[in-house]
Amino acid sequence: EAKHSGRNGLQVYQDSMEHQSKERLIFEMNLMQGLHEGQFQLYYQPQIDLHTKKVVGMEALIRWHHHEHGLISPADFIPLAEITGHIVPLGEWVIQEAAHQLKEWNAMGFRGLTVSVNISPRQFQQGNLPEVIQEAITQTDIEPSSLIIEITESLAMENQERIMKQMDAIRNLGCCIAIDDFGSGYSSLRYLQHFPIQSLKIDRRFVENIHSNQKDAAIASTMINLGKSLELTVVAEGIEEMEQLKTLRKMNCHQVQGYFISRPLPVQDITTWMEQYSL
């Protein structure tokens, strides 16, 4: 039962999800209720260009203010939302919200900024992702290329005609596509070969020890060069220390993102941060 779980009851929902329809029903009700009641919030984490040192983008990262469980991180509910299919309405909300936020930042004078949203494989398979994105762009009148769709490598993405078509449609809207957690997943190189992508986000596991471990540095450097030779924008994730940033700059990595720059923060806080930022 949920009472015996560690961090919060949702962990148990997840384990039993496919077997116990009661738990699943409660989760689904909670999630839909949460969506209607505005319990979801986007946090934003900045991305910095290593050459110009400017803030070039913000990644939107969802949080759930649950009435019982408090602040829940996406790792604890996105997988569940994928199983139940609720990721589709949730994902629509994320896209709408992020597009509106970018419009607001543009109006405040933050120009040339991109906003990245994370999209699960399931959202490509179900629903009408290109139409949802199109509508958000039309409503907000943002530059399509300033909206970046991040997709995580996964087995579910392999060779699926529908997913490829959706990606092409998204590209045709003028939006950009990034491969998230690059290197950590199932079939990285095939993705580079087949997907219409513009950027690569190197998983933080490959960045962690680049300043202290030669082997790790060699791998990271090779990944960066691979991305660059394919004319992709290369972003390193999970920068926590100055030394990592310095090493990545030497390796000519384009952009960095991580706690060293800023943790993901709510709109108000990240806007203040942006106004005061200098590297």
Q: Which residues bind ligand C2E (CB under 6 A)?
A: 45, 61-62, 73-75, 78, 91, 94, 118-120, 150, 152, 180-181, 204, 238-240, 258-259, 264
Structure token pair of residue 184: 């950590």
Choose among 84, 90, 91, 89: nearest CA to 17. 84
Q: How far is the CB of 132 from Mg ion (least distance, A)?
A: 18
Q: How far is the CB of 72 from ligand C2E (least distance, A)?
A: 10
Instruction: Decide: is 97 part of the binding site for Mg ion (CB under 5 A).
Output: no
Instruction: Decide: is 181 part of the binding site for Mg ion (CB under 5 A).
Output: yes
Q: Pick the closer one to ligand C2E by CB: 22 or 237.
A: 237
Choose among 177, 183, 199, 46: nearest CA to 118. 177
Q: Pick the closer one to Mg ion by CB: 118 or 271.
A: 118
Residue type, 70: G
What is the DSSP code string of 119-147? Answer: E-HHHHHSS-HHHHHHHHHHHHT--GGGE
Q: Pick the closer one to ligand C2E by CB: 9 or 91.
A: 91
Q: Pick the closer one to Mg ion by CB: 9 or 238.
A: 238
Residue 194 near residue 164, CB atoms below 8 Å: yes
Instruction: Decide: is 150 part of the binding site for Mg ion (CB under 5 A).
Output: yes
Q: How many CA atoms lie within 13 A of 97 on its CB side?
A: 22
Instruction: Decide: is 92 part of the binding site for Mg ion (CB under 5 A).
Output: no
Residue 235 near residue 200, CB atoms below 8 Å: yes
Q: How far is the CB of 202 from Mg ion (least distance, A)?
A: 9
Q: Pick the closer one to ligand C2E by CB: 20 or 213.
A: 213
Instruction: Decide: is 118 part of the binding site for Mg ion (CB under 5 A).
Output: yes
- Residue 180 forms beta bridges with which residues? 152
Which chain residues interact with Mg ion by CB under 5 A? 118, 150, 180-181, 237
